[in-house]
């Protein structure tokens, strides 16, 4: 038997098998055939798995546009497609690769313009005739009554004999299940449509006898063992196959209800992503289109040459005419294709690579195991549940977290089997970028959305250290937040209400095919017939459905940066006062166990406890620096209004302490016991001797200071000026505004009245007096200290404050340690002299703390006492 004139696929039959193995699962092969119907603009597609005498047949019947003879002829050419970039099945490969993945016999009847065209690709036929090196595809056309029709897509002129020969093969090998061909043609009841029957379904399993798919009620299941429940069901897969479905799919005589991929996502956010970085696939696309164009051009050239050759051979005018008619039929569509190709190429080259696409994120609360990244290209699901780095590294907190992207062909292309991206470079980049978004999203959810949701909707306040996710999942029926395949408990009524409230019920309008988010008031039985008008929305049946993105209207924009974790809620810090009988030695020893910082804080805090005893009149702009006593030693409040506004800025303070030497650093000295401190004291002695020469006696009575500009106010201090008692968690609330609104004079304004120093008798030998004046000055200093903003030297100041605190305790409790006061005051002053240079704030003059002689005596006595005590202890 010879089949010279039968149209031939350009490749050997085993290529079909190789080609079809690219499908990882039978569902993706089925999806290819679904795509064909989708691209043919079918309104309805019926998929059936039929059993006949122990054999299974898979049938796909759609009422799409059907195919002309030329188009059928092209389906058996590899790599050819008339489908433009708007279509999903760009490569025209779907029917072959999908079909031959499922079975070994493929029979197609398609109807258009009242012409039925049948095509058979059969392994059995090739085996029986020992044809191995080419694929013969019998193809016949008939009219409504089964009368033979000329096949106009033939390279060689059509004859009736060939028609009958091919029809014979079809009748013999086509999977007609005992029916006549006429009966099969009659199944295409619509004006146009296509019926594809796949027979001799491939078997898998160890014994090779089990089908890869099985009928399960009104569903088809795959037998793949590693599939999750939703990956196992064809119905589930088809329900999300298209982001914007426009075709009703009837699977095993039951309608597949389309499901919006984000229908059960709570806490939805979206973000825009620029298409410009994804160039790899685009460049390939351009190259591909150019090659298709070149091939078309070659074909046209070939046919043109054929025409010329035949014309030369022609004997009669009629022969010339028939040749011309024949080749025009072939050439016209080719030229149309070439024009389309040119247009696509132009579109690609002019494509706006700057455009953006939407990335939508959410948390799947219906089935959290379905999490991952879902990628659609041109509305068609390509990759489902892809797990990027965040899902692997942070598995416990990413359950349910999902993302989907729908991009156009102008940005990405799928591989031929439409199971992944053609450009893996682009895909990796996309996953990386999506991963970054999910990182932000996860933190937004954990730190903001879920705590707010629990608080506002569930009236549940998270406690300290409570697992946000665990509490969240508990509300939605999962008893823990870490086990992926944990069985879910039935939702409470409240949870169901939340699901409806926050996820909405997504329904597809049957006339305009737009997704609408409804409030759940439409009863489920009306879902398949839902229309926009049911929720009083305008319906536009003629609108192009692809690209409408209603979900961005109900999502929030994802922030560009991840939020910071909420501050830990710590109980207000409490200062524990040691019992009064505790000696300073014990106290210092106890303090040493605390960290240095902590110790300083404690000391300052404790020192402040004593402050309320001193009257102060703080004002927003003028801080009272000091408080003086009048002649009768009665406290007099400083009048803050007694501020000399006329005093021009920059006028130096009338204190004559410019010459005062400043010590480099101040150590906290424990007078009572320490070897090192003794050495330090020796050093101090020398310092003091020097200092004495420089000190002049100036006694300011009133010192006012205005906060200079740029002075950084310690938060702690700022806080304290408003409240002396509470301390701790409100620290964070120190308002930076307050600093800004302070007067911006560059120099401080001070006013001081200088009084001549009161002459004082020296202390008697061997006896150290703590004078009232000392204490007054000390208190005065403390007021100043606590009301003056301090700057970056605050660490030092805290040291000083700690020292003050220590000393004050000693003065108050133990008179014998009061000798340190004079020394202390000097140290403090030194420190503040230094400080005043940095901040421009003047400090009280040194002289007010006593005469040089007295101080020297004090220091000497101090050291003697310390030494004496030390030896006594030994």
Greatest C-alpha distance within the chain: 150
Please say which residue, 304 or 511, places its beta carbon nearer to Zn ion: 511
Please say which residue, 385 or 550, places its beta carbon nearer to Zn ion: 550
Taking a C-beta distance cutoff of 8 angstroms, is the pair 139, 73 a contact? yes
- Tokens representing 822 are 């004079």
| Rounded least distance, CB 88 to Zn ion, Å | 22
Please say which residue, 283 or 544, places its beta carbon nearer to Zn ion: 544
- Tokens representing 732 are 């964070």
Class of residue 784 by CB neighbours under 10 A (exposed 0-12, middle 13-18, buried 19+): buried
DSSP-derived secondary structure for 337-393: HHHHHHHHHHHHHH--TT-EEEEEEEEE-S-GGG-EEEEEETTEEEEEEE--HHHHH
Please say which residue, 82 or 246, places its beta carbon nearer to Zn ion: 246
Please say which residue, 450 or 508, places its beta carbon nearer to Zn ion: 508
| Rounded least distance, CB 540 to Zn ion, Å | 7
Site string for Zn ion, 46-85 (x = CB under 5 A): ----------------------------------------
d(CA 308, CA 657) in angstroms, rounded, equals 115
| Rounded least distance, CB 536 to Zn ion, Å | 12
| Rounded least distance, CB 242 to Zn ion, Å | 16
| Rounded least distance, CB 41 to Zn ion, Å | 18
The reply to whether 539 sits near Zn ion by the rule CB under 5 A is yes
| Rounded least distance, CB 259 to Zn ion, Å | 18
| Rounded least distance, CB 505 to Zn ion, Å | 16
> Phi and psi (nearest 5°) for 340?
-60, -45
| Rounded least distance, CB 548 to Zn ion, Å | 11
Please say which residue, 534 or 611, places its beta carbon nearer to Zn ion: 534
Please say which residue, 247 or 512, places its beta carbon nearer to Zn ion: 512
| Rounded least distance, CB 535 to Zn ion, Å | 10
Residue written as token pair 């499922």: 102
330 to 389, contacts with Zn ion by CB under 5 A? none
| Rounded least distance, CB 439 to Zn ion, Å | 37
Please say which residue, 491 or 539, places its beta carbon nearer to Zn ion: 539
- Our measurement of the distance from residue 438's CA atom to the centroid of its chain's CA atoms, rounded to an integer in Å, reads 3
Write the Ramachandran bin of 91: left for phi over 0, alpha for psi from -120 to 50, otherwise beta.
alpha
| Rounded least distance, CB 534 to Zn ion, Å | 9
Please say which residue, 185 or 505, places its beta carbon nearer to Zn ion: 505
d(CA 259, CA 699) in angstroms, rounded, equals 86
DSSP state of 129: T
Taking a C-beta distance cutoff of 8 angstroms, is the pair 96, 72 a contact? no
Taking a C-beta distance cutoff of 8 angstroms, is the pair 137, 9 a contact? yes
Binders of Zn ion: how many residues, by CB under 5 A? 5
Please say which residue, 290 or 539, places its beta carbon nearer to Zn ion: 539
3-state secondary structure 199-241: EEECEECCCCCEECEEEECCEEEECCCCCCHHHHEHHHHHHHC
- 477's CB contacts (< 8 A; 6+ apart) are 488, 489, 490, 491, 492, 495
Q: Which of 29, 532, 698, 804 binds Zn ion (CB under 5 A)?
A: 532
The reply to whether 662 sits near Zn ion by the rule CB under 5 A is no
Interface region with Zn ion, contact rule CB under 5 A, candidates 81-89, 207-215, 361-369, 533-541: 533-541
The reply to whether 238 sits near Zn ion by the rule CB under 5 A is no
Radius of gyration (C-alpha) of the chain in whole angstroms: 45
d(CA 799, CA 796) in angstroms, rounded, equals 5
H helices of 695-814, in order, are 715-722, 736-740, 772-787, 794-813
Interface region with Zn ion, contact rule CB under 5 A, candidates 86-94, 258-266, 537-545, 620-628: 537-545
- Tokens representing 699 are 């006694």
Site string for Zn ion, 489-528 (x = CB under 5 A): --------------------x-xx----------------
Taking a C-beta distance cutoff of 8 angstroms, is the pair 57, 197 a contact? yes
Please say which residue, 298 or 511, places its beta carbon nearer to Zn ion: 511
Taking a C-beta distance cutoff of 8 angstroms, is the pair 642, 806 a contact? no
| Rounded least distance, CB 543 to Zn ion, Å | 9
d(CA 510, CA 247) in angstroms, rounded, equals 9
Please say which residue, 509 or 660, places its beta carbon nearer to Zn ion: 509
**Helix, strand or coil for residue 318?**
helix
**Helix, strand or coil for residue 363?**
strand
Interface region with Zn ion, contact rule CB under 5 A, candidates 240-248, 473-481, 539-547, 726-734: 539-547
| Rounded least distance, CB 264 to Zn ion, Å | 22
d(CA 148, CA 118) in angstroms, rounded, equals 11
Please say which residue, 296 or 532, places its beta carbon nearer to Zn ion: 532
- 433's CB contacts (< 8 A; 6+ apart) are 273, 277
- Tokens representing 737 are 């505004």
Contacts with Zn ion, residue ranges (CB under 5 A): 509, 511-512, 532, 539
């Amino acid at each position: 038997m010879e089949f010279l004139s039968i149209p031939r696929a350009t490749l050997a039959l085993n290529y079909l098998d190789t080609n079809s193995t690219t499908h990882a699962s039978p569902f993706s092969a089925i999806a290819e055939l679904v795509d064909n119907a989708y691209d043919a603009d079918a309104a309805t597609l019926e998929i059936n798995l039929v059993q006949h005498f122990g054999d299974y047949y898979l049938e796909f019947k759609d009422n799409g546009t059907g195919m002309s003879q030329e188009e059928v002829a092209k389906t058996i050419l590899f790599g050819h497609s008339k489908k433009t970039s708007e279509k999903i099945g760009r490569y025209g490969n779907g029917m072959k690769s999908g079909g031959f993945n499922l079975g070994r016999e493929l029979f197609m009847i398609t109807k258009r313009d009242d012409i039925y065209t049948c095509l058979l690709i059969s392994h059995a036929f090739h085996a029986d005739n020992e044809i191995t090196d080419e694929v013969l595809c019998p193809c016949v056309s008939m009219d409504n009554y089964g009368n033979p029709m000329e096949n106009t897509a033939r390279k060689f002129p059509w004859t009736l004999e060939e028609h009958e020969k091919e029809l014979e093969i079809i009748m013999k090998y086509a999977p007609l299940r005992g029916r006549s061909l006429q009966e099969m043609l009659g199944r295409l009841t619509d004006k146009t449509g296509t019926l594809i029957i796949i027979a001799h379904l491939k078997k898998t399993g160890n014994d090779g006898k089990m089908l890869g798919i099985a009928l399960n009620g009104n569903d088809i299941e795959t037998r793949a063992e590693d599939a999750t429940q939703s990956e196992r069901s064809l119905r589930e897969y088809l329900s999300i196959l298209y982001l914007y479905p426009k075709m009703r799919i009837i699977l095993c005589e039951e309608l597949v209800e389309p499901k919006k991929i984000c229908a059960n996502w709570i806490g939805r956010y979206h973000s825009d992503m620029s298409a410009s970085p994804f160039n790899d696939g685009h460049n390939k696309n351009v190259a591909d289109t150019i090659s298709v164009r070149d091939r078309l051009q070659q074909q046209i050239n070939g046919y043109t040459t054929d025409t010329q050759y035949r014309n030369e051979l022609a004997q009669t005018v009629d022969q010339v005419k028939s040749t011309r008619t024949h080749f025009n039929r072939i050439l016209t569509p080719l030229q149309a294709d070439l024009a389309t190709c040119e247009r696509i190429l132009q579109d690609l080259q002019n494509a706006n690579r700057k455009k953006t696409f939407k990335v939508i994120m959410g948390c799947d609360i219906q089935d959290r195991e379905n999490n991952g990244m879902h990628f659609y290209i041109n509305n068609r699901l390509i990759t489902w549940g892809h797990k990027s780095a965040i899902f692997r590294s942070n598995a416990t907190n990413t359950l349910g977290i999902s993302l989907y992207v729908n991009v156009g062909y102008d940005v990405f292309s799928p591989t031929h089997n439409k199971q992944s991206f053609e450009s893996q470079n682009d895909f990796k980049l996309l996953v990386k970028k999506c991963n970054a978004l999910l990182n932000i999203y996860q933190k937004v959810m954990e730190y903001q959305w879920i705590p707010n949701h629990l608080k506002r909707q569930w009236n549940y306040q998270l406690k300290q250290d409570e697992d946000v996710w665990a509490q969240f999942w508990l509300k939605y029926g999962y008893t823990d937040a870490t086990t992926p395949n944990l069985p879910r408990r039935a939702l409470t009524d409240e949870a169901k209400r939340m699901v409806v409230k926050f996820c909405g019920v997504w329904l597809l309008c049957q006339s305009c095919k737009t997704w609408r988010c409804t409030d759940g008031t439409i009863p489920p039985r009306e879902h398949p017939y839902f229309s926009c008008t049911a929720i009083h929305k305008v319906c536009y049946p003629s609108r192009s459905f692809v690209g409408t993105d209603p979900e961005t209207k109900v999502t929030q924009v994802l922030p560009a940066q991840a939020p910071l974790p909420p501050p830990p809620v710590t109980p207000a810090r409490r200062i524990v006062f040691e019992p009064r009988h505790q000696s300073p030695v014990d106290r210092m020893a106890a303090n040493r166990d605390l960290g240095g910082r902590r110790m300083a804080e404690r000391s300052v805090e404790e020192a402040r406890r004593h402050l309320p005893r001193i009257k102060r009149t703080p004002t927003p702009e003028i801080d009272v620096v000091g408080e003086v006593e009048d002649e009768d030693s009665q406290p007099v409040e400083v009048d803050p209004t007694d501020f000399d506004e006329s005093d021009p800025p920059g006028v130096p303070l009338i204190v004559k302490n410019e010459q005062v030497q400043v010590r480099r650093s101040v150590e906290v000295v424990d007078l009572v016991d320490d070897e090192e401190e003794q050495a330090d004291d020796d050093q101090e002695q020398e310092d003091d001797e020097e200092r004495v020469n420089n000190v002049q006696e100036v006694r300011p009575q009133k010192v006012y200071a205005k906060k200079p500009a740029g002075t950084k106010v310690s938060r702690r201090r700022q806080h304290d000026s408003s409240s002396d008692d509470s301390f701790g968690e409100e620290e964070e609330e120190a308002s930076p505004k307050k600093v800004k609104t302070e007067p911006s004079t560059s120099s401080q304004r001070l006013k001081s009245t200088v009084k001549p120093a009161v002459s004082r008798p020296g202390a008697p030998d061997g006896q150290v007096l703590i004078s009232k004046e000392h204490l007054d000055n000390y208190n005065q200093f403390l007021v100043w200290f606590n009301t003056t903003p301090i700057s970056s030297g605050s660490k030092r100041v805290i040291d000083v404050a700690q020292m003050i605190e220590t000393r004050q305790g000693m003065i108050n409790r133990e008179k014998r340690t009061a000798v340190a006061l004079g020394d202390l005051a000097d140290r403090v002053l030194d420190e503040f002299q230094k400080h005043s240079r940095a901040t421009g704030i003047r400090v009280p003059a040194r002289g007010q703390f006593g005469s040089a002689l007295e101080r020297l005596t004090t220091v000497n006595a101090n050291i003697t006492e310390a030494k004496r005590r030390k030896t006594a202890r030994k």
